Every structure is written in structure tokens, then in C-alpha cells.
Amino acid sequence: MEFSELIKTATVEGVLLSRQGLPAVRGTLCITSHHLLLSSCPRGQLELWLLIRNVDAVEKSIGPCAAGQFLQAGSRGPSHVKAALSTACLAAQCLDREGCTVLVHGAEGTDTTLLVTALAQLILDPACRTLQGFQGLLEREWIQAGHPFQLRCARSASSHARGKQEAPVFLLFLDCVWQLSRQFPLSLEFGEQLLLTLSDNAYASAYGTFLCNNERERSLCKVRESTHSLWAWLDQPEEKHKYLNPLYSHNPLVIWPSVEPQSIQLWQGFFLRWIRPSQHLEEAWGQIRSLVQGNSSSLQESTGERLSQPLPEPPAGTENGKFGTR
């Protein structure tokens, strides 16, 4: 069943969409429980505008709150994860299966808009699921696009204090990425340790990658000239292996996550990291890495042995490897 078949829609014909500085667009408005879709046909080509109401809803509901409040009684944290993944899946489906142009628009375009677009790219593009590609995705969709890290991550993620501009939007993105890695354990080149490192550095870091609120502030403060990059540290050979997924296998296909309630799990590695011992989990991953490396070494040795063996002699009645003719 297609994802779109699960969405009941009501349509309104002849709706005019006004855009500042751009010509108005007239089309059919589809109203769902979470989205507004405007479909038009300019010059004979289908153009689909995705006006995401739940982007603003998530932005308002997770506004001034701390990450720890996701675990409180009656928390809507899992519903935020579901809403973000559902919206990203809808945008990805419009691009992949419908071949439509998609406009994602939130309040200011620097919070949940980036959340949806970044998740959609992870779902669609296997290059974004590599370690280097994921770093490029964060740099492009979060840092250069102007997510206000200084305002949103002013205090610790576990703080109960509420600032007017604080919101764990980036943490919600990392949670969604973890959900993808749990449902597709072979498709992401990086593991949970990278997500935990990113969450720590977003709130308190020795590097300048997440400093300031936008590129203009970083330029005025000369962040790149006076600080070191987190990416340069992560890419060091002695550090890089800590963040790689030993089970990774390149998957060129689109990955469609399940958003059913039983599929959305608590990210225990983050929310329970200080009360759950991680020693046994680290030992298990160490054993997995050893097994994978051992299998790779055995495969290379067996391949080398086969290549080093001499070729068999040609059968009788042949000359230079070819059957003779009378």
C-alpha cells in the first residue's frame, strides 16, 4: 500500500496561493489531518506545494522545553518523532514516486523546515547516509541554512529551565536519525556514538562548528579563523573508527521508515545514558567489529590464495587453449 493511500484527503478547487514577490498560483487544495497540499499544472507540468501545518505545530509544542521533558508523564516526545518522520516521508514520496516539486515551509525556515528537508534527504539519498555525506548534510542543511544553535541550545539538553528561544529541534532530528539507524541497521555508515557526540557538541563544545546563530554572526566573530572544526577532529583516523557502523553495507535504495507506534522506540542511548551502564554495549560492539574484521581478513586471504594458484593445464587435443580442428 502506498503511503499516500493511508491519508484521507478533502479537496477544494480553485484555491489561489499568494507568494510575496512571486506570481500567484491557482490550483487544487488537498486538506489532510497534518498537511495542506496545493497541486497546480503550470505549462502542463505537475507542481506540488507541500504546506506543512504540523511543522508549525511541532515547532510550537516543543518550543521552550528541555530534552529531559520528553520523558515526563504525558510527554508528546514520541509523537514529535512520528510527526517529523511522517512529514519527511510524505515529502520524499512526492519527490521519488510522484516526481513533483516540493516546497517545505515552516515559520522562519530555520527550525522544523530544516528538520524535514534533512530527514527527506537521508531517506532518499544513500550518499547522505555515509559519514562524509552526513557531515555535509549537517553543514548544508543546519549550519549554513541558519539554524540558531546559540538560541536553541543555550542550556544543557537535560536542564529543566525554560528559555523563550530554547527548543531541542536539533536533538529531535538526531532522535529521528537514530530511529532510521535502528530500523535499517545496515544502511547508515555511522553509528549511535556519532549522534551522541553531535548532541553533546551542540550544547557544549570545544569546537566552533555549532557556535552562533547564522553565517553572518560566524563571519563577524571570525569563528572559522579562531576555532577548530568538529568535522576535522571526527575525520582523524584514530577517531573516525569509533563512529563507523561495522555492519554498514551500501544500500542504493530509498529507505522508508515505519511510523507506527510500535516502531517508534525510546532512544535509550541518549535519554538513559547516565543511569544505564554502557560497558556491556560497548563490549558487544567491540566483539562485532572484531568479527567483521576477522571475516574480512579471512576473505582477503582466501581470495589471494586462489589468485596465486597456477592455471590448470589445457586438456589434450587443444593448442594454446583452443580446440584444434582437422
Instruction: List b or e across 211-238, with b for residues whose CB sees 16 or more CB atoms inside 10 angstroms.
Output: bbbbeeebeeeebeeebeebeeebeeee
Confidence of residue 125 (pLDDT cuts 50, 70, 90): very high
22 strand-pairing partners:
19
Confidence class for position 166, pLDDT limits 50, 70, 90: confident
pLDDT number for residue 84: 93
C-alpha span between 325 and 150 (Å, rounded):
83
Looking at residue 118, its pLDDT comes to: 96
Residue 216 corresponds to which amino acid? R
Whole-structure pTM value: 0.71
What is the model's pLDDT at position 274?
A: 82
Cell of 33: 489531518
For residue 65, give Cα distances in angstroms to 123, 167, 172, 186, 245. 28, 6, 12, 33, 32
Best CA proximity match to 190, nearest among 234, 144, 143, 252? 234
Q: What is the percentage of the chain residues whose pLDDT exceeds 90? A: 42
CA dihedral 15, 19, 21, 23 (to 10 degrees): -30
**Distant-in-sequence, close-in-space partners of 323: CB < 8 Å, separation ≥ 6:** 317
* For residue 10, pLDDT beyond 70: no
Supply 310's cell numbers: 597456477
Structure confidence at residue 68 as a pLDDT band (50, 70, 90): very low
Range with the poorest average pLDDT among 87-101, 110-124, 154-168, 219-233: 154-168
H-helix or E-strand spanning residue 135: helix 131-138
Cell of 108: 522562519
Q: Which residue has the cell 501545518?
A: 53
Q: Is 150 exposed, middle or buried (0-12, 13-18, 19+ CB in 10 A)?
A: middle
Q: What is the pLDDT of residues 290-324, one digit of tens each?
A: 777 777 666 566 655 565 566 666 666 555 545 45
Q: Which residue has the higher pLDDT, 300 or 29?
A: 29
Q: How confident is the model at residue 3 (pLDDT cuts 50, 70, 90)?
A: very low
Q: What is the pLDDT of residue 25?
A: 75
Higher pLDDT: 179 or 46? It is 179
Q: What are phi and psi of 95, to 5 degrees?
A: -75, -45
b (16+ CB within 10 A) / e for 105-126: ebeeebbbbbbbbbbbbbbbeb
The percentage of the chain sitting over the pLDDT mark of 70, rounded to a whole number, equals: 65
pLDDT recorded at residue 1: 40
